[in-house]
Amino acid sequence: MMKKALAFIMAMVMVLALVACGNSNTDPQTAPDDTTPTETTAFKIGGTGPLTGGAAIYGNAVKNAAEIAVEEINALGGIQFELRFEDDQHDAEKALNAYNTLKGWGMQISLGSVTSKPCEATATEAYKDRIFSLTPSASSTAVLVLDSDADPVTYKDNMFQMCFTDPNQGSASAQYIFDKGLATKVAVIWKSDDVYSKGIYDTFTAKAAELGIEIVSDTTFADGNDTDFSVQIADAQSKGAELVFLPMYYTPASLIFAQAKAAGFAPKWFGVDGMDGILTLEGFETSLAEGVILLTPFNADSGDAKTAAFVAKYQEKFGEVPTQFAADAYDCVYAYYQALTAAGCTTDMSAADICSAMIKQFTTMTFDGLTGEGMTWDATGAVTKSPKGMVIENGAYVGLD
């Protein structure tokens, strides 16, 4: 009898543990609307992102920075925001659950999702529900596209990005390598089951061909196959690549650096925004990333007063230097602030009404933020701003230009 009881308790504990993990943030703290009908003085911003799991560093950066921006804006006394951020563990299905939780809460405007795959899923729903979305960091074009089979391709009218789209990153990287004369023989290692990596890879290779940069080695890896890179490194090395382009997140990149060093291969490394964060890896020997070049719109070390104030506040609150993801999220909230003010939106408006006002604002306005001056958006939702080249020197980012 005891044993059965114990087994039952254990089973319950595990079920609860699983349930808790799935919805760790769905506390019933947000009371239903009927109990607090007058509490609608703040715009409800919702967003999903990986707060736990392998990509948690991005989700937490976005959440933290958005909180700072909301606090600052609320302290100004004008438009008020209420932020709610749900965990999606970088999983499309969990992101949809999180999105529905936010919808039930009464989300009026959205920060979309932090990473591309989940954001594709939530963007489709937000399009149907007419909730305006501005994602800080989901950079895949698929996030913006409504129907990729249509000719010409149609785009969701209410989905906007604060970050570069992947195609932009890929072609900008190739252009940068060409302009600075970094290499003529290039190797690419990319993640074949990741829309983010594939998107950058496609445009990088297209642009490289156009500019006459020779891609001598082209190798891939995938989930579950991302620990041993000896073959990819040997291929790049034996074909004489001078530069290796790494369109991927920093976790596999850290392994590539370590294994390349062990194999005695020391090319120039060139990363994309997913590389941002590698220096915060606990126990990572930063000398491995020495000389890594990446394109990013944000430089925490820049002398700019706004940036310095944000970095100081972030460091004080969260004990680390904010990454580009954090800066993008901070900009998102301020872009909303600017657009809502200009459109004269009020908190009692429905999400759909705010949505049409925001579409009009974002396609016409110019925004100055931490990640660029004079940003504009086109009707597809893609942003125009100029990337900055950065290089890692002595364990810190240094601007190249």
Partner 1 sequence: MSFLNFLISGISLGSIYAIIALGYTMVYGIAKMLNFAHGDVIMVGAYICFFAVSRYSLPPLVGILVAMVICTLLGIIIEKLAYKPLRAAPSLAVLITAIGVSYFLQNAAQLLWSSNPKVFPMFFQRMVSKTTPDGTVQIVPVNGIDLFGGELRVSYVTIVTILVCLIIMLALTAFTGNTKMGKAMRACSEDKDAARLMGINVNTTISVTFAIGSGLAAIAGVLLCSAYPTLVPTTGSMPGIKAFTAAVFGGIGSIPGALLGGLMLGVIEIMAKAYVSTQLSDAIVFAVLIIVLLVKPTGLLGRPVREKV
Using the rule CB under 8 A, is 346 a contact of partner 1? Answer: no
In the complex, what is the shortest distance from the CB of residue 214 to partner 1, in angstroms, rounded to a whole number?
19
In the complex, what is the shortest distance from the CB of residue 374 to partner 1, in angstroms, rounded to a whole number?
35
Using the rule CB under 8 A, is 1 a contact of partner 1? Answer: no
Query: Tokens 């800080």 label which residue?
Result: 136
Residue 148 three-state SS: coil
Using the rule CB under 8 A, is 57 a contact of partner 1? Answer: yes
Name the phi and psi angles at 383, rounded to 5: -95, 150
By CB under 8 A, name the one of 127, 178, 265, 284 that touches partner 1.
284
In the complex, what is the shortest distance from the CB of residue 208 to partner 1, in angstroms, rounded to a whole number?
19
In the complex, what is the shortest distance from the CB of residue 119 to partner 1, in angstroms, rounded to a whole number?
19
How many binding residues for partner 1 (CB under 8 A)?
47
Retrieve residue 33's tokens: 């609307």
Q: Give the C-alpha separation, 296 to 138, whole Å.
A: 14
Q: Which helix (H) or strand (E) holds 306?
A: helix 305-318
In the complex, what is the shortest distance from the CB of residue 95 to partner 1, in angstroms, rounded to a whole number?
16
Burial of 48 (0-12, 13-18, 19+ CB in 10 A): buried
Using the rule CB under 8 A, is 211 a contact of partner 1? Answer: no
Q: Give the C-alpha separation, 230 to 106, whole Å.
A: 50
By CB under 8 A, name the one of 209, 231, 312, 398 that touches partner 1.
231
Give the other-Cβ count within 10 Å of 42's Cβ.
Answer: 15
In the complex, what is the shortest distance from the CB of residue 221 to partner 1, in angstroms, rounded to a whole number?
7
Using the rule CB under 8 A, is 238 a contact of partner 1? Answer: yes
Q: Give the C-alpha separation, 153 to 146, whole Å.
A: 8
Using the rule CB under 8 A, is 228 a contact of partner 1? Answer: yes
Cα 43 to Cα 79, 80, 102, 400: the distances in Å are 8, 6, 13, 40
In the complex, what is the shortest distance from the CB of residue 175 to partner 1, in angstroms, rounded to a whole number?
26
Using the rule CB under 8 A, is 255 a contact of partner 1? Answer: yes
By CB under 8 A, name the one of 258, 352, 365, 391 that touches partner 1.
258
- Part in contact with partner 1 (CB under 8 A); list of ranges 225-233, 304-312, 333-341, 356-364: 225-233
By CB under 8 A, name the one of 224, 303, 319, 344 that touches partner 1.
224
Cα 124 to Cα 121, 127, 128, 132, 332: the distances in Å are 6, 5, 7, 11, 20
Q: State the binding string over 16-55 for partner 1 (x if CB under 8 A, else -).
A: -xx-xx------------------------------xxx-
Q: Give the C-alpha separation, 318 to 10, whole Å.
A: 36
Contact 340, 353 (CB under 8 A): no
| String of DSSP letters for 103-145 | HHHT--EEEEESSHHHHHHHHHHHHHHT-EEEESS---GGGTE
In the complex, what is the shortest distance from the CB of residue 248 to partner 1, in angstroms, rounded to a whole number?
13
| String of DSSP letters for 171-228 | HHHHHHHHHTT--SEEEEEEETT-HHHHHHHHHHHHHHHHHT-EEEEEEEE-TTS-S-
In the complex, what is the shortest distance from the CB of residue 244 to partner 1, in angstroms, rounded to a whole number?
14
In the complex, what is the shortest distance from the CB of residue 71 to partner 1, in angstroms, rounded to a whole number?
24
- Part in contact with partner 1 (CB under 8 A); list of ranges 166-174, 216-224, 334-342, 375-383: 216-224
Helix spans in 319-374 (H): 324-343, 351-364
Using the rule CB under 8 A, is 376 a contact of partner 1? Answer: no
What value does the CA radius of gyration of the chain take, rounded to a whole number of Å?
Answer: 22
Q: Find the binding residues for partner 1 in span 122-141 (CB under 8 A).
A: none
Using the rule CB under 8 A, is 219 a contact of partner 1? Answer: yes
Nearer CB in complex with partner 1: 124/219: 219
- Part in contact with partner 1 (CB under 8 A); list of ranges 3-11, 31-39, 177-185, 369-377: 3-11
**Contacting positions for partner 1 (CB under 8 A):** 3-4, 6-7, 10-11, 13-15, 17-18, 20-21, 52-54, 56-57, 192, 219-225, 227-228, 230-232, 234-235, 238, 251, 254-255, 258, 262-264, 280-285
